[in-house]
Amino acid sequence: RANARLLTQLRWYALALGYHLQQADALVYAEDVMMLTFPEMIGYVHGTAVDTALKQLVRQRNNAYKSYERAPAPDPMFETAGMVYDPEQQYTMSPMTPVAAYGHCQGEEEGDGLALTGQGCFPGKLEGTIRIVDNPNDLRPEPGDILLVRQGHPGLIHLFPAASGLIMEYGSPLSHVSILARELELPTLVGVKHATQALHDGDRVELDSHRGTVRRLD
């Protein structure tokens, strides 16, 4: 928590500096300061920066960031299997087929809809509407919405109280986001390979994080 408060304060300081850099026509937007390192920011202010063309530097890094977003995920680093153990709950489930923690799972037609499999982080079974999250700041979940993300990051956390479930295409049950989802008792499935391609915004699905499956109902 102390680290989170410190990072929040640093973000405020950086944005304040970004505003002044924007006023000085060094940046197009104040938020562009987030594409700079602290030495680059301070160096520009003190006149010791190696590169003073901040607009060009930000543009290059934005292009690189977009290329990283389009890049395929790396191969799995390790594999895990089964539900995360909770001593306060009694599980009566058959052993799960091992799945890779970083997105290796299987999809198949099951009944009347596409079924994808992954690894449950907190058990639960519900029906809901898929909401694909590209930018957490632009989304306001409705009751019954199941969040679908390519990978987890702390910016998602403020969406959890309004959401009914969470599906991550890449991730680990030991990631920060997965741990917080368990603490909030949010049914969560991770390692659902190709989930963002197979499912679309507005799809009705059945999420069963106890069995490790998500099935499209429409």
pLDDT digits (tens, 9 = 90+) for 150-196: 888 877 888 888 899 999 998 888 888 899 899 989 999 999 988 98
> Which range is least confidently modeled, 5-14, 33-42, 95-104?
95-104
> Which range is least confidently modeled, 16-25, 86-95, 103-112, 137-146?
103-112
* Paired residues of 115 in beta bridges: 108, 215
Domains observed in the chain: 2-70 (no CATH), 80-216 (3.50.30.10)
* Paired residues of 122 in beta bridges: 188
For 95-125, write each residue's pLDDT tens digit: 443 333 333 334 444 445 568 999 998 889 9
**pTM, two decimal places:** 0.62
How far is the C-alpha of 167 from the C-alpha of 191, rounded, in Å? 8
Residue 50: alpha-carbon gap to chain centroid: 34
